[in-house]
Structure 1
Amino acid sequence: MDNKNQLTLEQEFKLAIYTQKIYRLNNKNLKQHLIGTLKQMMIKDNVIKYFIKNSMP
């Protein structure tokens, strides 16, 4: 079995916590939370790309 893309036990725990929190949100809060999460993911991607681009000599 390929374990490269598996979540760690800690990540599985965090996912379970976030899942519980998301189910408690109403539609408006859920949409705002998802938009904020997507923005954070895009920023993270930009930071990773920046470091990869600037780490090459």
Structure 2
Amino acid sequence: MDNANKLTLEQEFKLAIYRQKMYRLDNKNTKKHLMVTLKQMMVKDNIIKFYIKNSMP
């Protein structure tokens, strides 16, 4: 597997913290948190695509 796609140790730690927080949420709050997270990931993807598109000469 390509090393570029692996998480850093810091990212693994953050993921473990989020996992612990998620286990404490009830089903409704878990779904709400998941939707917020997915939206943030989509916004991040859009920002990356924008910068890649506009960085070409």
Deviates more, 1:12-21 or 1:2-11: 2-11
Alignment of 1:19-38 (within 5 A): 19-38=19-38
Cα drift, residue 6 of structure 1? 1.3
Which residue of the partner structure matches residue 51 of structure 1? 51
TM (norm. structure 1) is: 0.92
Cα drift, residue 3 of structure 1? 1.9
Q: Would you identify which runs of 4 or more consecutive aligned residues in structure 1 move more than 4 Å?
A: none
More helix by share: 2
* 1:11 counterpart = 2:8: no
Partners of 2:22 and 2:56 in 1: CA distance: 40
SS of equivalent to 2:3 = coil
Q: Percent identity?
A: 77
5+ unaligned residues in a row in structure 1: which ranges? none
| Alignment coverage as a number of residue pairs | 57
